[in-house]
Amino acid sequence: MSTQAAFSAALLDIDLPCPDGLCSANGADPASRFAVYRNNVQSSLINALADSYPVVVQLVGDEFFRAMAGVFVQSHPPHSPLMSDYGSELADFISKFGPAASVPYLADVARLERLRTQAYHVADVLPLSQDLIAAVFADVDALNELRIGLHPSLHLLDSSFAVVDVWAAHQHDATLAGIDLHHAQHALILRNGLEVEVFAMDSGASQFIRQLKAGHSLTQALESAEAFDLSQTLALLISRQVITHFHPKVSS
């Protein structure tokens, strides 16, 4: 193992000793200085996770979260200098983390929070005007093969749990009273301007949007989805400014 690799590994693994060859100014013990530095690095990563997953923190409490995050950081080094990018694997980690098994919806809440972070940081794409959208939809003959391009901030999450209701509750009074936690929900995450919004969708609407996102035509998307309110779904996409282009391309 190279010196750099050994140093990086020891920063994240508290069971590894101080790497050989380190020296410290003013005669200070290198091992002691390294321990302080390692603690600062790990605390910074744990703090970054707490900032990215505030609802997860609220659900399990700060002490439990920091202990769980401490285990996570030891095997998941950062791959980007941007702290907002750190922790993309946390949801999968939670799903296999035994002590979190008593909160079975925790991993999906983490997935929802990660998608919100991704939606917030994605590049801007200008939406089509409502007048142009209306003109295209008015051409009945062209609708069958119409492909609708959606803003890259739009994400979908299918969960066996009431993840949208759980997340929404923690934006207000943080109580789960009255929520059927085992009620499956389909989440739509998108950025409207600077605000990231979360909606619970019908299964059919979620399937329809997923098909559009995959590049299928309007007709194909409708045929692949369970029954749902098409007008309501399209109205939501238009009002939230996530329709960005059509194929075949139309002139504006």
Model's pTM, two decimal places? 0.85
Q: From the CA atom positions of the chain, what is the Rg in Å?
A: 23
Range of the domain at 127: 123-252
Q: 130 with 244, same domain? A: yes
Q: What is the pLDDT of residue 252?
A: 45
Range 16-34 average pLDDT: 56
> CA dist 55 to 100, 112, 153, 156, Å?
14, 10, 20, 18
- Tell me, yes or no, whether 108 lies in a domain: no
Report pLDDT digits (tens) over 84-101.
889 999 999 999 999 999
Domain total in the chain: 2
| pLDDT one-digit tens code per residue, 38-72 | 667 788 899 999 999 999 999 999 999 999 999 99
Q: Are 74 and 21 members of one domain?
A: yes
Q: Using alpha carbons, select from 16, 4, 5, 250 the residue that is nearest to residue 133.
A: 250
pLDDT tens digit string along 130-161?
Answer: 999 999 999 888 888 899 999 999 999 999 99
214 domain-assigned:
yes
User: Is residue 31 pLDDT above 80, yes or no?
Assistant: no
Distance CA 73, CA 65 (A): 12
Q: Mark whether 162 and 87 lie in a shared domain.
A: no
Burial of 128 (0-12, 13-18, 19+ CB in 10 A): buried
Element (H, E) at 247: strand 243-247
CATH number at residue 157: 3.90.930
Residue 33 lies in a domain: yes
- pLDDT for the residue numbered 1: 45
Residue 216 lies in a domain: yes
pLDDT above 90 for 3: no
The two three-digit tokens of residue 50, written as one number: 């707490």
Residue 34: band (very low, low, confident or very high) from pLDDT cuts 50, 70, 90: low
- Asked if the structure places residue 115 within a domain, the reply is no
Instruction: Based on the fold, state whether residues 239 and 179 are members of the same structural domain.
Output: yes
4 occurs within a structural domain: yes
pLDDT score at 29 = 56
The answer to whether residue 5 scores a pLDDT higher than 80 is: no
Domain boundary among 103, 133, 163: 103
| 129 and 33 both lie in a single domain | no
96 and 2, same structural domain?
yes
Q: Is 236 a member of any domain?
A: yes
Q: Give Cα separations from 65 to 90, 91, 94, 173, 214 (angstroms).
A: 11, 13, 10, 20, 35
Q: Which residues pair with 243 in a beta bridge?
A: 150
Look at residues 103, 138, 168 and tell me which one is the last residue of a structural domain: 103
12 pLDDT band, cuts 50/70/90, is: low
Q: Of 51, 70, 103, which closes a domain?
A: 103
116 in a domain, yes or no? Answer: no
Q: Is 185 helix (H, G, I), strand (E, B) or coil?
A: strand
d(CA 239, CA 130): 8
**127 and 99 in one domain?**
no
pLDDT at 173 (0 to 100): 74
